[in-house]
Structure formats: C-alpha cells, structure tokens
A and B are shown apart, each in its own frame.
Chain A
Amino acid sequence: DIQMTQSPSSLSASVGDRVTITCRASQGINDYLAWYQQKPGKVPNLLIYGASTLQSGVPSRFSGSGSGTHFTLTISSLQPEDVATYYCQKYDSAPRTFGQGTRLEI
C-alpha cells in the first residue's frame, strides 16, 4: 500500500509568515491528493482537492501544488485562526490513506 508522509510533524510560525507543509507519497498518485484542516476539537474541513483546487469557501491564502509523489500546502500569510493540524490524503485508490498530520502553532 502507498504510504503518505508529511513534514514537518509540527511547526511554529508568526502571524503574516508564509508557511509550507510537505506531503510525500511512496508511489505516484497523479494529482489525487486532498488537504484538510482540523482545528482543536472540531471536525476536519476540506481545503484543497486535486492537489491544487481550492474548495469553495476556503480563503485564498491557502494553496496547493504538486503531482506524482511530492505535494505542498502553502499558507501565504498566516492568520491566528489558522492554528490547526493539517492532513493530506490520497484518493487515487483504496486504501485512501491520510498523512500523519502537521500541527501548526502561532
């Protein structure tokens, strides 16, 4: 099965910073990758699908890129409300594995 590895596991940044989170697949998955944001105590929320398509209603400071095995989620200007754990997930085929998560703090 394809494994999904995120880096870093956690990071701390300041308001206004540009933040990048990486997700690597152990085999190619084309662009069948989604990113989720999960705030403490809340349900996960879809941010990006198709590696780079922003889900409706998601602020434009979030963006995604990549294809194949290497993907990135970028927050162009970090806001206090972006404190959360971020997960990538492959959905090219089952099992639709999640990455282990990246905890983002201010």
Chain B
Amino acid sequence: QVHLPQWGAGLLKPSETLSLTCAVYGGTFRGYYWSWVRQSPGKGLEWIGEINHSGTTNYNPSLKSRVTISRDMAKNQFSLQLRSLTAADTAIYYCARAPVLGGKDAWGLGTTVIVS
C-alpha cells in the first residue's frame, strides 16, 4: 500500500515561493505520474501538474509560468515550487499518484498553505 506523506511551509507572504515535498513509501516511481492538486477554500479541485519517473513534466497552462515540479529518485520524493505567490494561491495542496493512464489512486493528506 503506497503512502504519501507531504510537508512544507504553511504560512507565506505575497511574492514568496511555496515549496512542498511528497515522499513515496511502499511503491515504485516507475509507471506512474506524480501529481500536485490544490483546492482553494470552498472551491473545487485544480490540477497543478505532474512528473513521471523519467522527469517528464506537464503543467496546468494557467500556472505554468510559476510552477516547477521535480523529483529525487534516490530519496523517492517529488516536489512542488510555486513562485510569486498571491492570496489567490491560498489552498490545500495535495500530492497524488496516478498510473500512466488511470485515475489518482493514492493521495497525500494535504498541506494547508495560507498566503497573507
């Protein structure tokens, strides 16, 4: 059973950079896309982007200019950086796993990020 603990700073100021990391326990990096999803207060789910084991990334066009997703295969971790934060980036940020052609079948517990 894969387990995705995640961590990172929860209170940031406007213009700062959000950095979150998600570890992968009990599973392999290969064969999956490793994603970030966020949910603003009272709103729906927003796909941020993803990375696979070879380092190929895909990003939401609305966030692409500010986002970087990276992975550390040695540590079995992947990370999210979101730059030039504004209050609109206040949200719960989730990491998640998806098979190459499948739904997200494992999720982290989420990290609440407040930009103020």
Task: Please give the residue numbers on chain A whose beta carbons come within 8 Å of chain B beta carbons, in ascending order.
Answer: 1, 32, 34-36, 38, 43-46, 48-50, 55, 85, 87, 89, 91-92, 94-101
Given A43-B107, A44-B107, A95-B58, do A87 and B44 touch, yes or no (CB 8 Å)? yes
- Interface centre among A44, A45, A96, A99, by most B CB within 10 Å? A96
Contacts of B94 in A (CB 8 A): 43-44
Size of the chain B interface, CB-CB below 8 angstroms: 23
Query: How far, in angstroms, from A34 to B108 measured CA to CA in the complex?
Result: 18
Contacts of B109 in A (CB 8 A): 43
Given A32-B101, A36-B103, A55-B103, do A43 and B44 touch, yes or no (CB 8 Å)? no
**Does B60 lie at the interface of the complex (its beta carbon under 8 Å from any beta carbon of A)?**
yes
Closest to A96 in B: B47
**Does B50 lie at the interface of the complex (its beta carbon under 8 Å from any beta carbon of A)?**
yes
Chain A residues touching B, majority SS: loop
Query: How far, in angstroms, from A46 to B103 measured CA to CA in the complex?
Result: 7
Given A43-B94, A96-B47, A98-B45, do A91 and B103 touch, yes or no (CB 8 Å)? yes
Contact call A34/B102, Cβ cutoff below 8 A: yes
What are 22 A-B contacts with C-beta separation under 8 Å? A35-B103, A43-B107, A43-B110, A44-B37, A44-B94, A44-B104, A46-B103, A46-B105, A49-B105, A50-B102, A55-B103, A85-B44, A87-B44, A87-B45, A92-B101, A94-B58, A95-B58, A95-B61, A96-B50, A96-B58, A98-B44, A98-B45
Closest to A30 in B: B101
Contact call B44/A101, Cβ cutoff below 8 A: yes
**Does B72 lie at the interface of the complex (its beta carbon under 8 Å from any beta carbon of A)?**
no
Closest to A93 in B: B58
Residue from B47, B103, B110 in contact with A97 in the complex, judged by beta carbons closer than 8 Å: B47
Please give 5 more A-B residue pairs, beta carbons under 8 A apart, in addition to A85-B44, A94-B59.
Answer: A44-B45, A44-B94, A89-B45, A94-B49, A95-B58
- Interface centre among B37, B47, B94, by most A CB within 10 Å? B47
